[in-house]
């Protein structure tokens, strides 16, 4: 926000900021700091060695790659699902709307076992793909399937309220000014929903990066091919190598944080750009 808080219309900024900081510290910052402290008993060279081992590198590729792919799929199809749920009325809409939340409610292990059974070469869905020569379960593709499943609600739920806010009149206005369907979408609708889409994408992506339960049952867990980083962390715990596990977790945390920060910057830039056309002339308050 470009407003300075000192001139904000709403009172209680100091109190609410203090509360926010305390709350975030207790819930997020202190546990994460604990993680970093625990891995601090290692030198940077040790951590570097752990993080750049062949299996670790391969697992980063698998984890972040599959998460990114799954988030992209979710962004695309989630947009369509949200659009249909907001714009059209049809029989069974409420039911489908409730279905979207199911991946949130299902225990991840249940999701993983179910997906593995469906997508195995002998499974209901897997056998069709097997005929076409595509293996899904126990390959990196299976990981993408699991991560897509658990990430879907994020995109749909972040987009729905934004789409509801866009009145159909806007589209009608665009059409009456001679815009094609595609132009209306690209020039009018998409800029308005892009920040929310990015938020949904980010949520789906970051959730996928840390996902363990639903993935390990379908991944196959082959070293260098389909091992996810959380599995390597568990593997280190199984060797009673707590420090190594926290080191790997810290590296993962840093990578995730940098990515989230980058996406947030992109988002901020996108929403500013979108707004700059309409609200550029907002008076700048506050003494510098």
Q: Name the minimum Å distance from CB 63 to another protein.
A: 16
Between CA 57 and CA 136 the distance in angstroms is: 22
Helices vs strands, H then E, count in the chain: 15, 0
Which parts of 139-188 fold into alpha helices (H)?
A: 140-165, 168-176, 181-183
Measured from the CB atom, the residue of 239 and 288 that comes closer to another protein is 239
Measured from the CB atom, the residue of 66 and 137 that comes closer to another protein is 137
- 214 in helix, strand or coil? helix
Between CA 244 and CA 57 the distance in angstroms is: 15
Measured from the CB atom, the residue of 127 and 165 that comes closer to another protein is 127
Q: Name the minimum Å distance from CB 43 to another protein.
A: 17
Q: Which positions lie near another protein, rule CB under 8 A?
A: 53-55, 113, 116-117, 120-123, 137-138, 216-217, 219-224, 226, 231, 234-241, 244
Q: Name the minimum Å distance from CB 146 to another protein.
A: 13
Measured from the CB atom, the residue of 198 and 249 that comes closer to another protein is 249
Between CA 209 and CA 231 the distance in angstroms is: 12
Q: Name the minimum Å distance from CB 40 to another protein.
A: 20
Q: Name the minimum Å distance from CB 245 to another protein.
A: 11
Give percent helix, percent strand, percent coil of the chain, each to the nearest 5: 75, 0, 25
Between CA 31 and CA 36 the distance in angstroms is: 9
Measured from the CB atom, the residue of 197 and 248 that comes closer to another protein is 248
Q: Name the minimum Å distance from CB 198 to another protein.
A: 34
Measured from the CB atom, the residue of 11 and 54 that comes closer to another protein is 54
Between CA 209 and CA 111 the distance in angstroms is: 16
Residue 65 token pair: 């790659």
Please enumerate in sequence order all residues whose Cβ is within 8 A of that of 39, keeping only pairs 6 or more positions apart, or say none.
47, 243, 246, 247, 249, 250
């Amino acid at each position: 926000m470009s407003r300075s808080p000192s001139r904000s219309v709403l009172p209680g900024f100091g109190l609410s900021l203090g509360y926010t900081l305390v709350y975030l510290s207790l819930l997020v910052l202190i546990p994460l700091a604990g993680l970093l402290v625990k891995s601090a008993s290692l030198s940077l060279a040790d951590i570097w060695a752990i993080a750049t081992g062949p299996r670790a590198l391969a697992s980063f590729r698998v984890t972040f790659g599959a998460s990114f792919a799954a988030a992209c799929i979710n962004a695309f199809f989630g947009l369509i699902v949200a659009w249909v749920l907001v714009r059209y009325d049809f029989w069974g809409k409420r039911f489908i709307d409730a279905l979207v939340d199911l991946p949130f409610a299902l225990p991840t292990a249940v999701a993983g076992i179910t997906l593995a059974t469906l997508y195995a070469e002998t499974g209901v869905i897997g056998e069709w793909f097997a005929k076409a020569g595509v293996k899904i379960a126990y390959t990196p593709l299976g990981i993408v399937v699991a991560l897509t499943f658990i990430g879907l609600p994020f995109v749909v739920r972040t987009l729905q309220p934004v789409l509801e806010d866009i009145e159909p009149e806007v589209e009608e206005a665009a059409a009456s000014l001679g815009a094609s369907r595609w132009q209306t979408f690209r020039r009018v609708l998409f800029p308005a929903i892009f920040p929310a889409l990015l938020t949904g994408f980010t949520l789906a992506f970051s959730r996928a990066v840390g996902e363990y339960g639903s993935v390990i049952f379908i991944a196959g867990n082959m070293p260098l091919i389909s091992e996810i980083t959380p599995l390597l962390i568990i593997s280190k715990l199984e060797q009673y190598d707590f420090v190594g596990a926290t080191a790997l977790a810290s590296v993962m945390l840093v990578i995730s944080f940098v990515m989230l920060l980058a996406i947030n910057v992109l988002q901020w830039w996108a929403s500013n750009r979108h707004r700059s056309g309409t609200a550029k002339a907002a008076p700048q308050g506050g003494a510098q």
